[in-house]
Structure 1
Amino acid sequence: MPKIGVEETLTDVSSLLREKGYDVVALRTENDAQGCECCVISGQDQNVMGIQNAVTAGSVIKASGMSAEEICQEVENKLR
């Protein structure tokens, strides 16, 4: 299954993705996103300093305002 990076604070999303069989990695540092086909972030700390460094070629999903099920559906859509 694809490797999905999920921000540590999104535990419900991590659990649901694991239940669906995905290889879930906690995003603690920029290096954790390497090799992920998709990353899920809360969006709260997004680009605070105005710096953007691309660390993954995969899709990035901003989870703000979405339920865990909606996020999982978005992940599945991005991986198609």
Structure 2
Amino acid sequence: MARIGVEQALTNISEALREKGHEIVDLKQESDAQGCDCCVVSGIDSNVMGMQDTQMQGSVIEANGLSADEVCQQVEQRTSR
């Protein structure tokens, strides 16, 4: 299964992804995203300046407004190889 970085505040999503067999990495700082296939963020701290310093190659899923099941579906779609 995939290695997924999940923002600490999204515990319900972390638990749902663990149940599906994914390895979960708590995103405490930007460098934690390295080596992850995909990251799930709350979207609360969206980048309003449009500047970014990419730390990973995988997709970023914004969980704002999505259920845990919807996030799991997006993770499955984006990490399927």
Does the residue aligned with 1:25 lie in a helix, a strand or coil? strand
TM-score, normalised by the number of residues in structure 2: 0.93
Q: RMSD over aligned Cα, in angstroms?
A: 1.1
How many residues get paired? 80
Q: Deviations for 1:4-59, whole angstroms, at most 9, x for unmatched residues? A: 00000000000000011000001010010000000000000122565311011000
Percent of matched pairs sharing the same residue: 56
TM-score, normalised by the number of residues in structure 1: 0.94
Structure 2: gaps (5+ residues): none
Structure 1: gaps (5+ residues): none
Over 6 Å off, 4+ runs? none
Does the residue aligned with 2:31 lie in a helix, a strand or coil? helix
